[in-house]
Amino acid sequence: MRHNIIVGNWKMNLDRSQAVILVNQVVSQLDNKIVPEVVFAPPFVYLYKIAKICADIDKVTVASQNCSAIDKGAYTGEVSAGMIDSCNAKYVIIGHSERRLNFNESNQELKQKVNRSLANNLEVIFCCGESLDQRKESTHFKFIEQQITDSLFDLSDTDFQNVVIAYEPIWAIGTGVTATTDQAQKMHSFIRGLLTKRYG
């Protein structure tokens, strides 16, 4: 059965007081009878605070925007999946297009992050998406297949149940261009076909 989720990725925005105000405003307007699961993805430094605010609110959870591929050690500035779990986050976003582009994250590195997250009781929101050039060259389906296969298809059936696939066409992010319903549905159908073939 499909489970609807709305995820708000804050990226590197808002100070602490603005973050608290935003969460309180959104939560005050939710109708729990009709709303799907709502997930806030604040910057690391607000993660614990936002998770604490949301702890007793039905259908409202928290995600980390990223995690390290490494469990622990002398890696200044990195944040481990275990640290994120200890802040009571439910999800971690892996493979966002900005991370792939700006930090050169490879499919293999993302595979490590996925495995590290699942091993630390976190559910994964796995992002995949193609560039405008790839879509124009009609290589977008193959590209998405590679992203998913390389990073996720070593997972067991049980672990895969804790993964959400988030399709984000890179060419439609902040460009003013929007993917049509038909384009999105065709990609969703393709991804479901890949998952069905691998996991049933």
Q: What is the pLDDT of residue 173?
A: 81
HEC profile for 72-135?
CCCCCCCCCHHHHHHCCCCEEEECCHHHHHHCCCCHHHHHHHHHHHHHCCCEEEEEECCCHHHH
CB 81 within 8 A of CB 52: no
CA distance 46 to 12: 11
The model's confidence at residue 1, banded by pLDDT at 50, 70 and 90, is low
Do the beta carbons of residue 67 and residue 92 sit within 8 Å? yes
pLDDT tens for 148-187 read 999 999 999 999 999 999 999 998 887 888 889 999 999 9
pLDDT for position 194:
97
Give mean pLDDT, residues 68-95: 97
- Residues serving a catalytic function are 96, 168
Query: Does residue 79 surpass a pLDDT of 90?
Result: yes
Average pLDDT of every residue of the chain: 94
- Please report, for residues 35, 54, 86, 125, 195, the alpha-carbon distance to residue 115 in angstroms, rounded to integers and kept in the order given: 30, 26, 17, 12, 18
Model confidence pLDDT, tens digit, residues 108-134: 999 999 999 999 999 999 999 999 899
Residue-wise pLDDT for 34-66, tens only, equals 778 999 999 999 999 999 999 999 889 999 999
CB 153 within 8 A of CB 114: no
At 8, give phi and psi (nearest 5°).
-105, 105
Cβ pair 7, 165 in contact under 8 A = no
Who has greater pLDDT, 39 or 4?
39
Structure tokens at 45: 């430094």
